[in-house]
Amino acid sequence: MLTRAVFAFALICALMGPAAAETKVLALGIAAKEVTQDELAAGTDLPKPKFNTAAVAYVLAADVKKGDAVEIALVKDGKALMHNTETLAKDEAKLLLQAGKRGVPAGGWPDGSYAANLKITRDGKTIVEQTSEAMPFE
């Protein structure tokens, strides 16, 4: 009897298919340059932005699904300065999205606290919303 119950349970699980992977944030932050997936996967120390360098907000997300809208923004004191949004045409095991400025604004970056702000929506509902630790540009 127990063998039949275990067999039935295994059969039901197989028919249901593999569990859907949950979207995860693997890396979120700001760097003084554009970053690569390899740098983020390796845990490479990225240069921190200064008042006279580039500033790029980045996110590396895993298990993002077709139709998801991923938005990354470089924010200063809670206000978006630059943003980038991508709506996925297909499922992605990993997605790197960046927003920022490769150059330096005239006169340098103004004083304030800067952060990376991430928002992922699926079917019109926010499924991930996260902000990196705020930092001043020295």
Quickly tell me which residue has 């998801």 as its tokens: 68
Give me the residue spans of the domains in the chain. Answer: 20-136
Residues 6+ apart with CB under 8 A from 100: 30, 54, 55, 56, 57, 74, 82
At 46 the pLDDT is 95
Q: How many CB atoms lie within 10 A of CB 2?
A: 6
Element of type H or E holding 7: helix 2-16
Q: How many CB atoms lie within 10 A of CB 127?
A: 14
**The pTM is what?**
0.84
Apex 90 CA angle, 31 and 56, nearest 5 = 10
Q: How many CB atoms lie within 10 A of CB 26?
A: 15
pLDDT digits 0-9 by tens, 80-108: 999 999 999 999 999 999 999 988 989 99
Given 3.40.50.720, 2.60.40.10, 3.40.190.10, 3.40.50.300, which CATH number is that of 20-136? 2.60.40.10
